[in-house]
């Protein structure tokens, strides 16, 4: 049975290991930084697969439907497995699962480099997805343990690492894989090996210091939500995640096409506008965590959604200059909500850090993928400009924040 004290629940996870005499270290920057760096390496590898779809399509004479199956199998294993892995490790802690999961990713990348048939590509995609599913809930758990109670700061730092890796991945694919072909994917096995080494070091710290950190962080957050309140909170958070990531997916997947269609920009110039938006997203993600630690999670969520709503509603009707300016403000403000949403959910369901982290990151992947596919279909039938007008109303779903119960954090 889960108690209402996260220190009790989390401490169970270390009962199988010798008790540590280490004193709690507060915010452990080197561990939070290492988790963020590992997140960068993991998401860099994850970005390789979609970036090489055009090459695989040409080399194996694949149809768009076959590419879709590769993407679907990857998305299923990378997103739907995360909550189940998190739920299992909440009850049966497996500290070495972090480096072992990256070993699975290593095997998947190697198989992707050597695949000679379509079925092998499907297996490789599934292995890369399983490695990602293992990484996110467990690495997020370590970042929280090393936070010293500054949960938002740790979570946003962790997430910025992933954002950076996602941005770097396609650039490395263009520089390393595209000039030399499929076998050059094997070079990314070196990235996986580096990630395994980093995760082994993190696991060593977790085994020797985390029990003391658990007791320290347990003093920073205790909740008293009833079961109906928890269900309501999770339902509202899922709605907010839907609004946030579908709207963000409209930019990450279609912003360049929107600029080309509406303002007749060349491809290269439209990419610069997209880069400016993604840079704003990274900055907002990092800023949202520390701000949430100071003013509270709900306040950040309110500002993130309703603060961005006027800019979102104006963007489809703005000139090129104001489209660029508004997109930067939208990326900066709306991305600040992610760390607040994750930490709020962790505080609402104490003792279930793995389950909540897996659910949040799994939803992020799943909603983004489904949202991109749905908007693509709508763009084919109604036009991309019309789609941007429709999705501009999504931030108004932030009004659902009013239904979030207070987590009554005791400090």
pLDDT band at residue 407 under the 50/70/90 scheme: low
State residue 363's pLDDT score: 66
Whose structure tokens read 């008293």? Answer: 224
State residue 160's pLDDT score: 82
Contacts 24+ apart (CB under 8 A), 160-163: 160/36, 160/282, 160/285, 160/286, 161/35, 161/36, 161/37, 161/38, 161/39, 161/40, 161/43, 162/39, 162/40, 162/42, 162/43, 163/43, 163/278, 163/281, 163/282, 163/285
Angstrom distance (rounded) from CA 153 to CA 114: 40
Residue 207 has pLDDT above 50, yes or no: yes
pLDDT in tens, 151-205: 778 888 888 888 788 778 777 887 888 888 889 999 999 999 999 999 999 999 9
Residue 61 has pLDDT above 70, yes or no: yes
Residue 401 has pLDDT above 60, yes or no: yes
Average pLDDT of the chain to the nearest whole number: 80
Answer for the pair 342, 360: CB distance below 8 angstroms, yes or no.
yes
Per the model's pLDDT, the better-predicted residue between 291 and 11 turns out to be 291
pLDDT in tens, 112-131: 999 989 999 999 999 998 99
Answer for the pair 337, 287: CB distance below 8 angstroms, yes or no.
no
State residue 211's pLDDT score: 55
Half-sphere exposure of 246 (CA within 13 A, CB side): 23
Compute how many other C-beta atoms are within 10 angstroms of the C-beta atom of residue 246.
Answer: 19
Q: How far, in Å, are 161, 311, 316 from residue 36 at the CA level?
A: 5, 31, 35
DSSP 409: -
Q: Which has the minimum average pLDDT: 28-42, 133-147, 264-278, 299-313? A: 264-278
pLDDT in tens, 293-342: 777 778 888 988 988 999 999 999 999 999 999 999 998 898 888 777 87
Compute how many other C-beta atoms are within 10 angstroms of the C-beta atom of residue 180.
Answer: 11
Angstrom distance (rounded) from CA 133 to CA 113: 21
Q: What percent of the chain has pLDDT over 90?
A: 26
pLDDT in tens, 368-395: 667 777 887 788 888 889 989 999 999 9
Angstrom distance (rounded) from CA 281 to CA 30: 24
- Contacts of residue 291, defined as CB under 8 A and 6 or more positions apart, other chains included, come to 152, 300, 336
380: exposed, middle or buried (Cβ count in 10 Å: 0-12, 13-18, 19+): exposed
Quick one: CA torsion of 14, 15, 20, 22, rounded to 10 degrees? 50
State residue 393's pLDDT score: 95
Per DSSP, helices labelled H in 146-266 are: 151-172, 188-218, 227-263
Residue 265 has pLDDT above 60, yes or no: yes
State residue 10's pLDDT score: 42
Concatenating the DSSP letter of every residue in 20-54 gives P-PPP-SS-HHHHHHHHHHHHHHHHHHHHHHHTHH
Compute how many other C-beta atoms are within 10 angstroms of the C-beta atom of residue 231.
Answer: 12
State residue 13's pLDDT score: 42
Q: How far, in Å, are 32, 139, 200, 276, 304 from residue 144 at the CA level?
A: 8, 9, 18, 30, 22
pLDDT band at residue 48 under the 50/70/90 scheme: confident
Concatenating the DSSP letter of every residue in 283-320 gives HHHHHHHHHHHHH-HHHHHHHHHHTTHHHHHHGGG--H
Per the model's pLDDT, the better-predicted residue between 102 and 71 turns out to be 102
> Encoding tokens for residue 337?
């909500």
**Torsion angles phi and psi, residue 117, rounded to 5:** -150, 165
State residue 17's pLDDT score: 46
Answer for the pair 218, 233: CB distance below 8 angstroms, yes or no.
no
pLDDT in tens, 208-252: 875 544 444 444 444 567 778 888 888 888 888 888 888 887 887
Which of 75, 66, 252, 287 minimizes the C-alpha distance to 160? 287
Angstrom distance (rounded) from CA 330 to CA 318: 14
């Amino acid at each position: 049975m889960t108690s209402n004290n996260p220190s009790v629940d989390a401490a169970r996870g270390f009962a199988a290991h010798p008790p540590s005499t280490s004193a709690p270290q507060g915010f452990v920057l080197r561990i939070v930084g290492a988790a963020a760096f590992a997140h960068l390496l993991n998401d860099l590898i994850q970005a390789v697969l979609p970036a090489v779809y055009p090459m695989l399509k040409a080399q194996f004479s694949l149809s768009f439907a076959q590419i879709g199956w590769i993407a679907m199998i990857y998305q299923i294993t990378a997103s739907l497995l995360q909550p189940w892995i998190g739920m299992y490790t909440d009850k049966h802690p497996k500290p070495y699962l972090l480096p072992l999961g990256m070993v699975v990713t290593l095997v998947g990348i190697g198989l992707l480099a050597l695949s000679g048939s379509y079925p092998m590509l499907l297996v490789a995609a599934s292995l890369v997805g399983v490695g990602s599913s293992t990484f996110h809930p467990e690495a997020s758990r370590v970042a929280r343990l090393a936070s010293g109670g500054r949960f938002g700061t740790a979570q946003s730092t962790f997430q910025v690492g992933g954002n950076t890796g996602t941005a770097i991945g396609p650039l490395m694919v263009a520089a390393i894989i595209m000039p030399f072909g499929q076998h050059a994917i094997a070079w990314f096995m070196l990235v996986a090996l580096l990630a395994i080494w980093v995760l082994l070091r993190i696991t060593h710290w977790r085994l020797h210091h985390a029990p003391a950190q658990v007791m320290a962080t347990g003093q920073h957050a205790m909740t008293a939500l009833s079961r109906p309140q928890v269900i309501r909170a999770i339902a509202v958070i899922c709605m907010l995640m839907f609004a946030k990531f579908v709207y963000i997916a409209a930019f990450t997947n279609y912003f360049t096409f929107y600029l080309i269609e509406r303002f007749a920009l060349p491809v290269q110039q439209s990419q610069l506008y997209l880069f400016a938006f993604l840079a704003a997203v990274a900055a907002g993600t990092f800023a949202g965590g520390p701000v949430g630690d100071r003013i509270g999670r709900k306040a950040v969520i309110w500002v993130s959604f309703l603060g961005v709503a006027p800019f979102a509603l104006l963007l489809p009707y703005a000139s090129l200059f104001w489209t660029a300016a508004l997109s930067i403000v939208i990326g900066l403000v709306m991305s600040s909500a992610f760390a607040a949403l994750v930490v709020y959910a962790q505080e609402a369901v104490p003792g279930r850090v793995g389950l909540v982290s897996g659910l949040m990151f799994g939803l992020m992947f799943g909603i983004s993928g489904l949202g991109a596919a749905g908007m693509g279909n709508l763009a084919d039938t109604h036009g991309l400009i019309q789609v941007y007008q429709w999705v501009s109303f999504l931030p108004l779903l932030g009004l659902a924040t009013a239904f979030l119960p207070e987590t009554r954090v005791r400090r």
